[in-house]
Amino acid sequence: MYVSSGGIVNGATVNSGGELTISSGGEAYYTTVNSIGYLTVYSGAMADSTTVNSGGILNVRSGCVTNYTSVNNGGTFIVFFGGVASNARVNSGGSMSISAGGTAYYTSVNSGGSAFVSSLAAAYNTNVQSGGWLFVNGSATYTTVNSDGNAFLSSGATASNATVYKGGFLDMDRASANIVYVSGGDVNVSSGATLNSATVFSGGIITVFSGGTANSATVSSGGRFYVSSGGEATRATVNSYSELHVSSGGTATSALKILDLVYISLIAMSHYRLYNHQFL
């Protein structure tokens, strides 16, 4: 079935082997896509309030905008180059992929759901709920990782203005992140990754592993900062009632400011490196 300019379809159901195509100027509302059904939305078309069930596929092409898509168990949502998805909900067992050149705004990745942001793709204001999974090779801006949520920044990925709440996890591998707020969650900085301007609040933990770097971190009261062997921390500020742990072979350099009432653990003290520090 084809819907062209000026055409509107409401409440359609696409079943096994069926295909609904919305071309420029066409509109689709409240469409349900079931097993082996296809909904493809092309440039200049619009699809609102689509539900993608097990085996169903929603394809969003260049110049198209979709709003309020729900991806359920076994459903697939793909945003191609130039396509835009807004307010998508990826539920348990559902999958959303943003291809190079695609953009997603205000995505919620719910328990058991997965969202993938490819290289050269962009995601803004993503909310990773408990049990949700976000995988980023492109860019992610204003990401929130809630309790038991998981976000992974892989090779070449960039992130900015992320918040990781208690029980949430942000893992970085050969990626970079700027302005990260660790509010009780965990941030792991692995080999080749760089974390800039992070703030660790009470209950939060940053761990810098071998080959990883953290620049200009601030550790607030109740926060913990670990530098493992081969890891490096520069220009950090460690405030009162917080913790700094530097393992054998770890490095903390460049005017590290350590305020009063800080717990400092320097493991294998003949081998750690703590340079240019200030005790205030």
Nearest Cα neighbor of 169 from 131, 119, 138 is 131
The pLDDT confidence band at residue 268, using thresholds 50, 70 and 90, is very low
Least confident of 7-11, 39-43, 254-258: 254-258
How many CB atoms are located within 10 Å of the residue 179 CB?
A: 16
How many CB atoms are located within 10 Å of the residue 221 CB?
A: 14
- Rounded to whole angstroms, the Cα distance separating 185 from 243 reads 15
Asked if residue 247 has pLDDT above 70, the reply is: yes
**Residue 153: strand, helix, or coil:** strand
Residue 3 near residue 26, CB atoms below 8 Å: yes
Which pLDDT tens digit goes with each residue over 162-184? Answer: 999 999 999 999 999 999 999 99
What separation, in Å, do the N-terminal and C-terminal C-alpha atoms of the chain show? 72
Which pLDDT tens digit goes with each residue over 83-125? Answer: 999 999 999 999 999 999 999 999 999 999 999 999 999 999 9
The tokens describing 238, both together, are: 């460690």
| pLDDT at residue number 256 | 53
Which pLDDT tens digit goes with each residue over 127-150? Answer: 999 999 999 999 999 999 999 999
Average pLDDT of 37-61? Answer: 97
| pLDDT at residue number 4 | 87
Average pLDDT of 34-62? Answer: 96
Domains of the chain (ranges, CATH numbers): 54-279 (2.160.20.20)
The tokens describing 241, both together, are: 């009632």
Asked if residue 264 has pLDDT above 90, the reply is: no
Q: What single-letter amino acid sits at 88?
A: A
In angstroms, the Cα distances linking 259 to 6, 192, 241, 250 are 66, 29, 9, 20
Which pLDDT tens digit goes with each residue over 19-28? Answer: 999 999 999 9
| pLDDT at residue number 258 | 54
> Which positions ≥6 away from 270 have C-beta within 8 Å?
none
The tokens describing 213, both together, are: 């770097």
> Which positions ≥6 away from 92 have C-beta within 8 Å?
72, 73, 110, 111, 112, 113, 131
Q: What is the dihedral of CA 206, 212, 214, 215, to 10 degrees?
A: 180
